[in-house]
Amino acid sequence: MRRAGFTLVEIICAVVLVGVVTTISLATFNAVSRGWEISTDYIDKMQRTDYALNQVVSALRSMYYPHDGRQSEDYGFMLTDNGAGEDPDDSDVIEWSRLASIGDKNKHSSTIHRVQLMVLEEGDTTYGRRNEIGVTGLYMRRRPDSALMPKDGGDEDDYTFGNEELYEPTLVADGIVGFNCRVLKEEPSPSGTKASYEKDDFEDTWDSSNSVPYKVELTFRIADPEGRSYRTNTAPVMRIVRIPIYEQSQDGATTPTEAAEGAKGGGRSGGGRRR
């Protein structure tokens, strides 16, 4: 009597089939896990970039300009256009003045300081740092108001941002590999009930140093989550900011409230911008 069983060929085929199924299952599991890891990393970078961008927006909206009836280059907005902002080498640099609290308990404890914002690449040794930049990201430099700087009549003391060794950059957010800024220089002409403008009205250059633009467009570039070359693989995050003190910077006196009231009454008081 013959006993039922598997032949050697059948066993080999079964082993091969199990191996193929196992390989496909592991590859699928690894692909799903990798996709989940990349997505999580990307979302994390997006959230941190969005938070950093909101902080920059808040700082721009709290821009300071003296209400003394004159225009001043000490408090104007400055833009250095270095390119499209795809990577640190062609990222823009912006600079403005703002009020900052230096003590939470004292309601009078506020001071004016100058802010400079830029993207720096890992390994950068600019600004006379003792240690090179450790991570590519968005950095900020701050300096006190020019009115607080010592005035001895000499030229040997440079307290501007041009003195690269005096103000070290502070990391705002990592993972940001590019930054581009464009400006809407003037308030657009009213069309119907609202002032209208197009995206093409924003410009890459700002040649006025003694006032501020009407709006600022900020675009941050996030590094590719898979670690590929960020010079060709980046994701943009953009904001458009209306600068509240635009009217005041045109003549050094008009506040946004006064400008709005003037518009209702037939126009804003003059005082053209000096270029």
Q: For 51-103, how does the pLDDT look when each residue is reduced to its tens digit (9 = 90+)?
A: 888 888 988 998 888 887 777 788 889 999 999 888 888 999 999 998 865 44
Q: What percent of the chain has pLDDT over 70?
A: 73
In a 3-state reduction of DSSP, which class is residue 16? helix
Mean pLDDT of 17-45: 82
Task: Report the predicted TM-score, pTM, of the whole model to 2 decimal places.
Answer: 0.72
Beta carbons of 83 and 178 less than 8 angstroms apart: no
Residue 209 is assigned to a structural domain of this protein:
yes
In a domain, residue 245? The reply is: yes
pLDDT tens digits, 131-149 = 678 888 999 988 887 777 6
Residue 269 located in a structural domain: no
Asked, for residue 1, whether it belongs to a domain, the answer is: no
Spatial separation of the C-alpha atoms in residues 215 and 242, rounded to whole Å: 4
* Alpha-carbon gap, residue 87 to 122, rounded angstroms: 12
Q: From CA 75, how far away is CA 241, in angstroms rounded?
A: 18
Residue 231 inside a domain? The answer is yes
Residue environment code for 251-261, b if the CB has 16+ CB neighbours within 10 A, otherwise e: bbbbeeeebee
Least confident of 106-110, 115-119, 181-185, 217-221: 106-110
Could you tell me if residue 21 is inside a domain?
A: no
Mean pLDDT value of segment 216-228: 77
Q: Given a cut of 50, is residue 176 above it in pLDDT?
A: yes
**Number of neighbours of residue 262 by Cβ within 10 angstroms:** 14
DSSP type of residue 153: S
Domain membership flag for residue 20: no
Domain with 168 in it: 36-151+159-264
Please give the structure tokens belonging to residue 157: 């003391």
Number of domains composing the chain:
1
